[in-house]
Amino acid sequence: MAKPRINSTREERIENQIVVDAYGPEERAMGWYYYLEDKLHFPFCAQCTTSKVVSPLKKGETVEVLCLAPEENCTGDMLVLIRWQGRKVAVPLCQLTPMDENKSTAQAIADWQYWVAQGYLF
């Protein structure tokens, strides 16, 4: 994934709403977790835009996103639970693009994908 240009609006939202007052990796991870928990409207359909070694999804697959994975599983990456081949599986949120028209969901996922593409870490 190519590093996008700095987006000042997105940077400000991340700094002032998501990781505000977060002084370490755990606090930044939880800032992101609670932001996504508040902004994502579940369930929603999404398409896999990139394959990852840690995920069973292939580029182009469409899945139903059920919810965020439990907090304790999101300390290194933001994971969501999907329905895949008859079972629930956790996959990285950054590999999904929402297909629904919910603006809050789309913006929150775009914020997370921006963070990841910039190379920011918890």
The predicted model scores a pTM of 0.93
Contacts of 93 (CB under 8 A, 6+ apart): 36, 77, 78, 79, 80, 109, 112
From residue 107, alpha-carbon distances to 13, 26, 52, 64, 95 in Å are 11, 23, 22, 18, 15
Contacts of 92 (CB under 8 A, 6+ apart): 52, 54, 55, 77, 78, 79
CATH number of the domain at 77, please. Answer: 2.30.30.530
**Domain of residue 70, residue span:** 8-118
The number of domains in the chain is 1
Residue 49: per-residue pLDDT: 96
Residue 100: per-residue pLDDT: 82
Residue 4: per-residue pLDDT: 85
Residue 38: per-residue pLDDT: 97
Q: What is the mean pLDDT of each run of 10 residues along the chain (122 residues)?
A: 86 95 94 98 96 95 97 96 95 95 95 95 92
